[in-house]
Copies of this chain bind each other. A is one copy, B any other.
Amino acid sequence: MERAILEAAVALLEEGIPLSALSIERIARTAGVGKATIYRRWPGKEALFLDLLREFEPPDPELPGTSARDDLWTLLESVRRRGLAQRSSVILHNVIVEMKSHPTLWEEYHRTVVAPRREATLAVVRRGIADGEFRADLEPELINDLLVGPMLMHTVHRPGAPLPDDLAERILAAALQGVGPRPQPDPRPEATPHPAG
């Protein structure tokens, strides 16, 4: 039942019906279900959307564990790819946007979906600090934001456009080495940042 209703909602979205036209009445009609049946399960449209989001949430990526850098690359890549997922992309962006106007629901979404993901990245960063891959004099949160933030900037400024393949790699490299002037006196080829490889 629950499924039938969510499927109906998705079906409508995929038909091109804009999110703002997704009334409960319409979903009920499409699902061949009484309105009351929907209200019995969700307190409102937005709560239904939340479940709809969870429906599409891709699984967390499996981390290689070879190094903090590699793990972070994997995580950033999963962020990038999520932005490309066929059905989701634009649709889900709008769902999220809509849901943001319901603080309670957004809070729950953040708590159960966004925050855990952030926590996972943070854990990797902390491990990287412990292993000497990251500077120990910086807060893990700062390092995390320095890596993930640039990723989001792309989607803000180029909505709809696919993120470049090497974006994760380039962000990681730049963030690790810094964007300040290269220490020229150093003659070393510097290839990978950690010299004693």
Question: Is A135 part of the binding interface, using a Cβ–Cβ cutoff of 8 Å?
Answer: yes
Contact of A180 among B20, B144, B176, B180 (CB under 8 A): B176
Q: Find the B residue at minimum CB distance from A69.
A: B180
User: Measured between alpha carbons, how far is A138 from B178 in the docked complex, in Å?
Assistant: 10
Q: Are B149 and A153 closer than 8 Å at their CB atoms?
A: yes
Most buried by B among A101, A132, A178: A178
- Range of interface residues on chain A? 35 or more
- On whether the beta carbons of A145 and B149 are closer than 8 Å, the reply is yes
Q: Which residue of the partner chain B has the closest CB to A100?
A: B97
List chain B residues, Cβ under 8 A from A193: 131-133, 178, 180-181
Tell me if A171 is interfacial: C-beta within 8 Å of chain B: yes
With CB as the reference atom, state the residue of chain B lying closest to A132: B193
User: Please, what's the 1-or-0 string for A12-53, where 1 marks a CB less than 8 Å from any CB in chain B?
Assistant: 000000111000000000000000000000000000000000
Q: A20-B101, A118-B157, A152-B156 are in contact. List 4 more A-B contacts (CB 8 A).
A: A114-B156, A133-B180, A137-B182, A148-B153
